Structure 1
Amino acid sequence: MTILSLHATNPLVDGRQSEKALLVRRGMQALLADLRHVALPEVPLSSGRRADMLSLSEKGEIWIIEIKSSVEDFRVDRKWPDYRAHCDRLFFATHPDVPADIFPEEAGLFISDGYGAHLLRDAPEHKLPPATRKALTLGVARLAAARLTHAERMLGPLPGGGPEEG
């Protein structure tokens, strides 16, 4: 399922994310860019799960960031341990109104205010097997390219009414 919506003001919002979750995501995107990571939201995984955010470092390290917008959001979602099979490091990200002590020690933790984020606790490393890393990296590249192509096609015809003449 695509996360692009042609009719929404924000094409990366599909209606499942709360305002707080989008705020956390925006702050995480800013921090990850500063860390020289590229990040994609709403990434489907081979297990059938969907990661809130997946980032790829310059060295190829893969992080999954699970965004939690409230205590209740964390308590009802128990699928997060499954994400470990798809990343080198697993993090939670939340905002300052959610108590940090509810999040398990076996995952990293970021606090985001919408403009940036701060690492409260690093995540333990559990390196992916090479074949899994390759498949996941290829899948992320294809997903990013497909989203970009879709977004460009929705912009309409090229300036001048058609393809450039050679």
Structure 2
Amino acid sequence: MKTADCIKSSIIKRRGIKGHIAVDEIGLPLESDWTKKYYADVYEITTDKKVIIYEVKSSKQDYRSDKKWQNYLNYCDLFYFVAPLNVIEIIRAEVPSHVGLYSYDNSYLVCIRSARKHKENTFTEALKKKLQTQLAYRFTKMHRERLSMAKEVE
């Protein structure tokens, strides 16, 4: 399994333990063109209905080549980068203090800096509701697939 996939899996498992809904690769529609989308690496809804996006970076090159992460700020209440510690140190020096940071090492996630809500956030309740509906659909579909696989094993 690739590093990025391992990181995503760890985030989803950790968030699920807390009773939150988290899935990977959720399409975020561009407000200027609803036919195009960004894809959040991991998208979470907490029990108190906060929306959190986790952007996974597996290497320095992966981080340096990403120019779209700031667009995600308008689709969430909180935003985190998750990467190996050597990459997180680079990210920490370059991103604003409201961006949260998690380091990843051998399936362990460690919060380096908690995310804070961005002052200029334009995340509307209407968009939040649309994305929550999309997430609920994806989560239900994922759950059905797991049940189907479990029945096949029996």
Gaps in structure 1 of 5+ consecutive residues: 1-17, 160-166
**Which residue in 2 is equivalent to 1:57?**
46
**Which residue in 2 is equivalent to 1:116?**
108
**Which is higher, the Rg of structure 1 or of structure 2?**
1
Given the superposition, is the C-alpha separation of residues 150 and 34 from structure 1 closer, same or farther in structure 2, using an over 3 Å criterion?
closer
Given the superposition, is the C-alpha separation of residues 64 and 148 from structure 1 closer, same or farther in structure 2, using an over 3 Å criterion?
same
Contact 1:20 1:95 in 2 (8 A): no
- The count of corresponding residues between Structure 1 and Structure 2 is 142
Q: Does 1:138 align with 2:133?
A: yes
Q: CA deviation at 1:114?
A: 4.0
**Which residue in 2 is equivalent to 1:84?**
73
**Which residue in 1 is equivalent to 2:2?**
19
Contact 2:85 2:103 in 1 (8 A): yes
SS in 2 for 1:53: strand
**Which residue in 1 is equivalent to 2:61?**
72
Q: CA deviation at 1:150?
A: 4.5
Given the superposition, is the C-alpha separation of residues 152 and 30 from structure 1 closer, same or farther in structure 2, using an over 3 Å criterion?
closer
SS in 2 for 1:81: helix
> What is the alpha-carbon root mean square deviation over aligned residues?
2.5
Given the superposition, is the C-alpha separation of residues 155 and 35 from structure 1 closer, same or farther in structure 2, using an over 3 Å criterion?
closer
Q: CA deviation at 1:143?
A: 1.7
Taking the aligned partners of 2:76 and 2:106, their CA distance within structure 1 comes to: 24
Given the superposition, is the C-alpha separation of residues 99 and 143 from structure 1 closer, same or farther in structure 2, using an over 3 Å criterion?
closer
* TM-score between the two structures when normalised by the length of structure 2: 0.78
Taking the aligned partners of 2:150 and 2:20, their CA distance within structure 1 comes to: 27
Taking the aligned partners of 2:106 and 2:12, their CA distance within structure 1 comes to: 9
Contact 1:20 1:69 in 2 (8 A): yes
Q: CA deviation at 1:82?
A: 0.9
Percentage identity across paired residues of the two chains: 24
Gaps in structure 2 of 5+ consecutive residues: 31-36
Aligned AA (2:59): S
